[in-house]
Structure 1
Amino acid sequence: MDAQFKSVDWPFLQSIYGWAVLQYQAWARGTIVVPDLGLRTFVLYADHVLEFWVDNQHHFGGDYYAYRRAPVVLHLEPGKHRIDIRLVRDVRMMGGVGQPNIQVKLKLDAVDSALGLHWDRKNVLLPNLVNGKPASLYASILLRNDGYEDVEVIEVEADVPYISSMLSMVHIALAPQQSRPVALNLSCNSSCDEQVTLTVFYRTKVQPGQVLQQKSTQMLHQRSIYEPHKITFLHPSGIVSYAVLRPPSAQASRQCTHDDNLPVLLQLHGAGLEAEADLVAHALDPLPDLCAWVLFPTGVTPWSGDDWHNWGFADVEAAVDAIPDWIKANGWKGPAVDTERWLVSGHSNGGQGTWYALTHRPDKVLAAAPVSGYTSIQNYVPYNLWQSADPQRHAIVQSSLNSYRHESLMANARDIPILQQHGSNDDNVPAYHSRLLWQLIQQTHGNSSYHELPGKGHWFDGVMTTDALREFYQSELNGTKLDKSPMGQFTLVVANPGDMGSSRGIKVLSLELPGHIGSVDVSWNRTSGAWSLETSNVLILEMPSVMAEIGNITIDRQRVVIDLKSNSGKPVWRVLKNSTGMWEVRVLQLTPEMVGRSYVQMIHNPFEFEGIAYRRGRQLGAMDAILRSHGPFLVRSSAETTKHIALQISRNLCQYFAADTVLTNMSSAAETTSNIITVAMGAIMPAGLLEHFPIRVWESKEEQMPTCLEVRDDMGTRRCYRLGNGLAAIFLRPLPDEGLELVVWGEDESSVAVAARLVPMLTGVGQPDFIVMDKRMLWKGVDGVLAMGFFDHWWNVSRNSVFS
Structure 2
Amino acid sequence: MSNFTLSKTWQILGPFPIGTREQDFGADPLECYGGFSKLRYSAGAKYPSELVDGGFVGWSMLSSINHTVGPIDFRNARWKDNGVPFGWSIEQYQAWARGILVVHQPTKVFMQISGVSEYYINGEKRYHGDCYNYNTTTHIVHFEKGKYVIDVRMVHDIRIFGGGTTPPQCQFQVLIEPTKKEDLMVYPEDCAVITPSQTKKDADPMCEILMPDYLKDIGFAGSFGSVSIQNIGDDSIVVKSITLCVVDSRSLEGNKKGLFVEYKTDLLVKNISIIPGQIRPIGFQFQKEWGSLPAVEILKYWVRISLVVDDRDEMTEQNEFVIRASCSKITHVDWIKSVFKFTFLDYDNTVQYAMAKRPDILTSNPKKPIIIALHGAGVEADSSFWTKSIPTQPSSWILFPTGRTPWGYDWHGPSTRNVFKSLEGLKAIQDLLPPHFECIDSAGEDWVNVSAPDETSKTLKARDDKEWVIGNMDRLILMGHSNGGQGVWHLAVHFPDKIIAVVPAAGYLKIQDYVSFANWVGNSFSDPSLRAVLESAITEYNNDLHLSNMIDIAVLPRVGTEDDNVPPLHTRKYVRILNGLMKNSTAIKTSEAIGQGHWWDSVFTDKIVQDFLIKQHEKPSPREFCITSTNPAGIGSVNGIHLEQITVPYRLAKIKGVESNENILSIKTTNVSSFRLTRHFKGYQKLVIDGDRFSHLEKIHTEKGNVVFSMDKKSKRWKLEQVKSTERNAANYGPIHRMYESKSALTIVIPEKGDHYQHVALQIAHDWYLYGRGDSRIVYDGDIAAYDKCSSGGYRVYLGLPSENKLIDQIISDKPCGIEFEKSALTGIKVGDKLYNDPGTGILFMQPCNQHGEMAIIISGVDLIGFDSAWRLLPKRTGMMVPEWIVTSSEMKSIGLGGVLGAGYFDNEWKPFGFI
Same fold (TM over 0.5): yes
1:691 to 815, 830, 844: 815
Report the Cα offset of residue 648 of structure 1.
1.6
State whether residues 640 and 679 of structure 2, in contact with CA within 8 Å, keep that contact through their aligned partners in structure 1: no
Alignment-derived partner of residue 29 in structure 1: 98
Range with greater deviation from structure 2 (680-689 or 409-418): 680-689
**Structure 2 residues without counterparts, runs of 5 or longer:** 1-68, 182-188, 196-205, 246-259, 436-465
> What's 1:448 paired with?
588
Per-residue CA distance 1:301-344 (angstroms, 9 max, x = gap): 000x2110001111101000112211023345433421121100
Mark the CA change 1:240 to 1:542 in structure 2 (over 3 Å): closer, same or farther.
Answer: same
The 5 Å alignment of 1:498-577 reads 498-526=633-661, 528-544=662-678, 550=684, 552-556=686-690, 558-562=691-695, 567=700, 574-577=708-711
Output aligned runs, 1:421-500, within 5 Å: 421-445=558-582, 447-476=587-616, 479=617, 481-483=618-620, 488-500=623-635
- Structure 1 residues 561, 395: closer, same or farther in 2, change over 3 A? same
Q: How much does 1:789 deviate?
A: 0.6
Match of 1:593? none
Partner residue in 2 for 1:407: 544
Q: How far apart, CA to CA, are the structure 1 residues paired with 2:87 and 2:704?
A: 51
Match of 2:761 among 646, 651, 664: 646
Aligned to 2:344: 233
How far apart are residue 408 of structure 1 and its match? 0.5
Equivalent residues of 1:230, 1:276 under 8 A apart: yes
In the alignment, which residue of structure 1 is the partner of 2:330? 220
User: Relative to 1, partners in 2 of residues 1:184 and 1:694: Cα closer, same or farther, differing over 3 Å?
Assistant: same
Specify the alignment match of 2:742 in structure 1. 629
Q: Aligned partner of 1:289: which letter?
A: Q
The Cα offsets for residues 268-304 of structure 1, whole Å up to 9 and x where unpaired, read as: 00000100001111112xx32332110000001000x
Per the TM alignment, residue 188 of structure 1 is displaced from its structure 2 partner at its CA by 2.8
| Preserved contact between residue 179 and residue 651 of structure 1 (Cα < 8 Å) | yes
| 2-structure distance, mates of 1:126, 1:308 | 23
Matched, 1:393 2:468: no
Equivalent in the alignment of 2:790: 672
| Counterpart contact for 1:261–1:335, Cα < 8 Å | no
The answer to whether structure 1 residue 55 and structure 2 residue 192 are counterparts is no
Q: Which one-letter code corresponds to 1:692 in the other structure?
A: P
**Is 1:791–1:797's contact at 8 Å kept on the other side of the alignment?**
yes
Corresponding residue for residue 56 of structure 2: none
1:271 matched to 2:377? The reply is yes
Quickly say closer, same or farther: Cα 1:214–1:754, change in 2 above 3 A. farther
Which whole-Å CA distance do the structure 2 matches of 1:438 and 1:169 have between them?
47
Structure 1 residue 542 displacement after superposition: 1.2
Identity of aligned residues (%): 24
- Among 195, 208, 215, which residue is 1:130 paired with? 215
What is the number of equivalent residue pairs in this alignment? 753
CA distance in 1, matches of 2:275, 2:226: 19
Question: What is the DSSP-based 3-state SS (H/G/I as helix, E as strand, rest coil) of the residue aligned with 2:557?
Answer: strand
Of 397, 422, 427 in structure 2, the residue corresponding to residue 319 of structure 1 is 422
Q: 1:700-733 CA distances to partner (integer Å, 9 max, x unpaired)?
A: 4xx6xx5311111xxxxx11111x4211100111
Greater alpha carbon shift after TM alignment, 52-61 vs 263-272: 52-61
Contact conserved, 1:521 with 1:535, CA < 8 A, in 2? Answer: yes
Q: SS state of the match for residue 203, structure 1?
A: strand
- 1:594 corresponds to which residue? none
Q: CA deviation at 1:111?
A: 0.7
Distance in 1, matches of 2:847 and 2:734, equals 13
* Residue of 123, 147, 156 corresponding to 2:242: 156
Instruction: Specify the code of the residue in structure 1 equivalent to 2:75.
Output: K
**TM-score, normalising length: structure 1:** 0.90
Which amino acid in the other structure matches residue 818 of structure 2? P
Confirm whether residue 306 of structure 1 aligns to residue 409 of structure 2.
yes
In structure 1, the partner of 2:900 is 785
Shift of residue 778, structure 1, vs aligned partner: 1.7
Check if 1:794 corresponds to 2:913. no
Is the Cα contact below 8 Å between 1:639 and 1:680 reproduced in 2?
no
Post-superposition offset of 1:432: 0.5
Which of 342, 347, 353 aligns to 2:487? It is: 353
Q: Secondary structure at the match of 1:43?
A: strand
Q: Relative to 1, partners in 2 of residues 1:761 and 1:425: Cα closer, same or farther, differing over 3 Å?
A: same
Contact 1:676 1:742 in 2 (8 A): yes
Q: Could you say which residue in structure 2 is the equivalent of 1:418? A: 555
Q: How does 1:204-215 map to 2 (within 5 A)?
A: 204-205=309-310, 208-215=316-323
CA distance in 2, matches of 1:548, 1:296: 31
SS of alignment partner, residue 912 of structure 2: coil
- Name 1:329's counterpart in structure 2: 432
1:415 deviates by 1.7
User: C-alpha separation between the residues in 2 aligned to 1:474 and 1:565?
Assistant: 34
- If you compute each CA radius of gyration, which structure gives the higher value, 1 or 2? 2
C-alpha separation in 1, matches of 2:576 and 2:335: 42
Deviations 1:25-57 (A, max 9, x none): 11000011122xx32011112101111111233
Q: Which runs of 5+ in 1 are unaligned?
A: 590-608, 713-717
Q: Does residue 277 of structure 2 align to residue 174 of structure 1? A: no
Aligned counterpart, 2:392: 288
Greater shift, 500-509 or 199-208, is seen at: 199-208
Mapped to 1, the partners of 2:329 and 2:717 lie a distance apart of 60
Q: Work out which of the residue numbers 727, 734, 740 in structure 2 matches 1:614.
A: 727
Q: Offset of 1:147 from its aligned partner?
A: 1.4
Say whether 1:711 aligns with 2:831: yes
Q: Does 1:383 align with 2:517?
A: yes
Is the CA contact (8 Å cut-off) linking 1:562 and 1:585 kept in structure 2? no
- In structure 2, how many angstroms separate the alpha carbons of the residues matched to 1:42 and 1:571? 50
Deviation at 1:186, TM superposition (A): 2.8
The equivalent of 1:727 in structure 2 is 841
**Inter-CA distance 458–547: structure 2 relative to 1 (3 Å threshold):** closer
Distance 1:19 1:517 in 2: 31
How does the TM-score come out when normalised to structure 2? Answer: 0.79
Q: Distance in 1 between matches of 2:681 and 2:855?
A: 34
Give the distance between the partners of 2:88 and 2:628, measured in 1 at CA: 30
Quote the Cα distance in structure 1 between the aligned partners of 2:267 and 2:357: 27
Deviation per CA, 1:425-464, whole angstroms, max 9, x where unpaired? 0010000000100100111107523111111000122222
Q: How far off is 1:69 after superposition?
A: 2.2
Residue identity matched to 2:708:
R
Instruction: Call closer, same or farther: CA 1:102–1:524 in 2, change over 3 Å.
Output: same
Q: Which amino acid in structure 1 is aligned with residue 369 of structure 2?
A: P
Instruction: Indicate which of 762, 774, 778 corresponds to 1:659.
Output: 774
Alpha-carbon distance in structure 2 between the residues aligned to 1:569 and 1:152: 43
* Corresponding letter in the other structure for 2:394: L
Tell me if the contact between 2:156 and 2:170 (Cα under 8 Å) persists in the aligned partners: yes
Q: Does 1:203 align with 2:308?
A: yes
